[in-house]
Structure 1
């Protein structure tokens, strides 16, 4: 993986916290990172090039100008006042290469002074075993702070550790050993003959969690269950959770009044134009 900085910019080691999405159901992690980048007025500092990420290009995601400012598959943004680097991923990883991609990203993060990594992702609602909607949508977490994945700071926010996480499970163990021993392994072989209980370690967030942990970095995964559809409310929920551990002051957000979030410009066309009312 190579990093290409924009003119006069670089990866700032003072930005010791890294935030990034793990692609999953509804692209909730990506949408949440969009919200954070837009609302913090984070500055794009460059982009990554990795052979395991599919190429794509699009219009500027955060503003209609300047014209010709394109968005690329894997971009880095800095919020220097909050000591944050945010990475946005806009295209999927090549099939079977998620672990190799996660290894590359972990190597870059470790080389550039990152200490804490926040991974934002979603989980398939169909896999939710213990449904309790009494308190609304719930945030789950997984942390490298302890062997069993718990973290006191996350518990203080009322979040629950992902109950299905079991570091002794054969798939989690196999994933960890493959990474720690630097074995080049196709994901399809790593997770062949998957059973229902293998769902979680087969997801992108699990590969990222294991790779960053193997590099000695603190990793916190923030997760929410959802279904495919309009996932914007889920993105707000996940971004709000991330802000509780990332942002020191609400004034760091550029939104005004009760609406502290700035909706990215690209969201205006997420679902296309409104329906033609003459049809009704």
Structure 2
């Protein structure tokens, strides 16, 4: 993975926390990063070039007027006021290469001096085994701070540790071995022909990212929420708000729209124009 810095720009030397999405159902992690980039007024400082991510190109996602800047598959942003860097991922990883991609991101984090990585991801609501109807949308976390995935800071914020994580389960152990370079991805798994439900979550992108950052000795925290396909902007707001609380981010709400978050301009066309009411 190559980090290409735009001319005249650089990463703040005091930046030590990296925020990035893990692609999953509803693209909630990416939407949350969009909110964080726009609302912290983060500056794009460059992009990452990796052989394991599919190419794509589009218009600037944040500016209301065309200024000639293109959106690329992996973009790097720096929020100097908050001491955080953000990576936005706009296209999927080549099939079967998620662990290699996660390793490359871990190398990038080490090379740029990061000591904490925050991964934002969604999970499929149909797999949520216990639904708590006494409160609103729930945020779950997974941390490398302790072996069992717990973290005192996250607990103080009222979040629940994600209970599906079991470092002794065979798929999690295999993923950890891959991340540490003690196994080859092409090795046949003893349970490859008979996957069980417990093998599902370790196969997701956030699990590979968690394992690879952890293998590099970097503190990694995953913030997770459950959702279904559809309009997932409420989940994106929840993940962005959770990120802000955990890191104590300074949000620029001086845009005069009446809310805390600055909505990216590209969101206006996510679902197209409203329906023609004359048809009803």
TM-score interval, smaller chain: over 0.9
Number of matched pairs = 279
Q: Which position in structure 1 is the counterpart of 2:51? A: 51
Distance across 2 between alignment mates of 1:212 and 1:256: 38
Q: What SS does the aligned partner of 1:216 have? A: coil
- 1:196 is matched with 197
1:7 aligns with 2:7: yes
- Measured after TM superposition, the shift of residue 246 of structure 1 is 1.7
Change in CA separation of 1:145 and 1:258 when aligned onto 2, cut-off 3 Å? farther
* Conservation of the 8 A alpha-carbon contact between 2:72 and 2:90: yes
Q: What CA deviation, in whole Å up to 9, does each residue of 1:153-182 have, x standing for no partner?
A: 000111000011100001000100111125
Aligned to 2:35: 35
Report the secondary structure of 1:211's partner residue: helix
RMSD across aligned positions (CA) = 1.8
Tell me what 1:98 maps to: 98
The 2-side partners of 1:80 and 1:204 are apart by 28
CA contact (8 A) 2:82 2:250 kept: no
Q: 1:19·1:85 contact (CA, 8 Å) conserved in 2? A: yes
| Partners of 1:34 and 1:88 within 8 A in 2 | yes
- Note if 1:65 corresponds to 2:27: no
1:23 and 1:232 map into 2 onto residues whose CA distance is: 15
Residue 83 of structure 1 is matched in structure 2 by 83
**1:248/1:69 CA distance change after superposition, 3 Å:** closer
2:229 is paired with a residue whose SS is coil
Partner of 1:241: 242
User: Is the alpha carbon distance of 1:13 and 1:215 closer, same or farther for their aligned partners in structure 2, counting shifts above 3 Å?
Assistant: farther
Q: Do the aligned residues in 2 keep the contact of 1:46 with 1:77 (CA within 8 Å)?
A: yes
Give, in whole Å, the separation in 2 of the partners of 1:118 and 1:86.
9
Give the TM-score normalised by structure 1: 0.95
Structure 2: gaps spanning 5 or more residues: none
- What does the per-residue CA deviation read over 1:107-138, in whole Å, with 9 as the maximum and x for residues that have no partner? 01011100100000000001101111211110
What stretches of structure 1 of length at least 5 have no aligned partner? Answer: none
Asked whether 1:176 is paired with 2:179, we answer no
CA distance in 2, matches of 1:182, 1:111: 22
Find the counterpart in structure 2 of residue 143 from structure 1: 143
Q: Confirm or deny that 1:275 pairs with 2:265.
A: no
Measure the CA separation in 1 of the matches of 2:53 and 2:168. Answer: 30
- The Cα of 1:44 is off from its aligned counterpart by 0.1
How far did 1:12 drift? 3.0
